[in-house]
Structure 1
């Protein structure tokens, strides 16, 4: 299948402002791009690209004072298959884990595992190890956290989500990731495009989406505690320990976001 994807972000800057951008598809999706996701700006500025420590495509620039628009419009091919389910995937004992997975066992900015370990084992310790345990975590988060954009705030941690029982997609993932880490399963945050392909359309504007990946049976597997069903058409942009590692834009100065539009649509030939 073919997916048209893109965004338009419009800011107002009070002065020339250094800016970090993480707005491109992940290198692992490069071969699936039928039209490249070139990053355009108005006014035009020079953007220096680099790969960060998590393997994400990033850019840095200086935004001019005043109105600054960033956009892309691209085409990507996709298998059209839902997220794979590997119910027999086993959990690795910690001494067996590859070194590169170990940072995804520790707490991080939004995944305060030290406050959640006791609750994780009390509620989910009886779930079967491996895929079954991660799925039990997703089931619990999906059933117990209420979604709503009005609950979004930049300081909300997994502990806050657990105690308040509300959040947006990133908060669902932070809590599920934290529970996985508390139970010795490496888990990392992922974000990108996820359109309403194969499901009823939602009654609110399209946004970027979050999901997470758990390391089981020698590889990373996709899970989504918010939707909690296999979905079609995920297009990865970035991965990290939590949302703090994959901020779409980071501005080193005062600014106002005055426009935000995202599109992810199946192209029917």
Structure 2
């Protein structure tokens, strides 16, 4: 076995190639939604984006729209057979770790912007009402917005073991009670505890490769974390890793995973293969030309 390639240097700006390939067995015509497309954001610049559907005649009613949270949704009707859909993106992001602002104050509810108030309420997977007593007993005495949220992240990281123990219906309270969680659960728990303390919080999902750290050996997958509204901005927290990371690519945000599921199928389509990548590449790298027909978004 050959030695792994040496890590690329971490400069002020780094280039990251992210994407996925998903294959489905579709027994009959099935409407499908995908929440998989990153957007241009402050600190997140998209250089190239390529989508491929095989076979091309395997879908109809194909279009994209923006949901109530501003996320890009791909909508299609998959026809019977084997369907593979992939997306390949070249992006530039900061080469620095997630920013830290430990002295930021907490904003009173009466001073919060109107559009953040929905992120104070319990939702399908972030059942903050069931964790309120625990939240105030454990974190209520802590002064400062950032300090409170960081204490939540510290506690979840230290008290919950990373590992599969949940399923698609597991809520924040259930994951917390079990003491075992995957990234989705860590995000839901963080969101729920923040909301219980009157801090707006939302679920975030995207890509996070092993950039600037040794590979952890876990197969690459989509990642989830949470954002808390502190001192006028949404701030990134990741209780799964509980340390600032480099190369995070945001796809979507919502109240919880129900709003931003990567794939939603209205029928019996079955996922049979999934590959996800998120790798730092050279600053002049471009997506390779592989000779296959590609459908580019305008």
Contact kept, 8 Å, 2:43 with 2:93, in 1: the verdict is no
Of 166-175 and 41-50, more deviation after overlay is shown by: 41-50
TM-score (norm 2): 0.87
Aligned equivalents of 1:229, 1:190: Cα separation in 2: 16
1:28 to 41, 58, 70: 41
Larger radius of gyration: 2
CA contact (8 A) 1:27 1:56 kept: no
Q: CA deviation at 1:194?
A: 0.4
Uncovered stretches (5+) of structure 1, i.e. residues with no partner: none
Tell me the TM-score normalized by structure 1. 0.96
Task: For residue 268 of structure 1, report the CA deviation from its aligned partner.
Answer: 2.9
Residue of structure 2 equivalent to 1:10: 23
How far does the alpha carbon of each residue in 1:90-133 deviate from its partner, in whole angstroms, 9 at most, with x for none? 11110000000000000000011111100111111122221100
Secondary structure of 1:151's aligned partner:
coil
**Secondary structure at 1:134's aligned position in 2?**
helix
**1:260 aligned to 2:274?**
yes
Correspondence for 1:77 among 92, 103, 106: 92
CA-CA distance at 1:230 after TM superposition: 0.4
**C-alpha distance after superposition, 1:176-199 (max 9, x if no partner):** 110100000000000001000011
Question: 1:123 maps to which residue?
Answer: 138
Q: Classify 1:257/1:29 alpha carbon distance in 2 versus 1 (closer, same or farther; 3 Å).
A: farther
Aligned residues: 267
More displaced, 125-134 or 62-71?
Answer: 125-134
Identify, as 1 or 2, the structure richer in helix: 1
Contact 2:166 2:175 in 1 (8 A): no
Secondary structure, aligned partner of 2:227: strand
Distance in 2 of aligned mates of 1:48 and 1:228:
37
Structure 2: segments with no counterpart, 5+ residues: 1-13, 284-298
- Does residue 1:53 correspond to 2:76, yes or no? no
Looking at structure 1, the residues matched to 140 and 225 of structure 2 have their Cα atoms a distance apart, in angstroms, of: 23
After the TM superposition, which segments of 4 or more aligned residues of structure 1 sit over 3 Å from their partners?
Answer: none
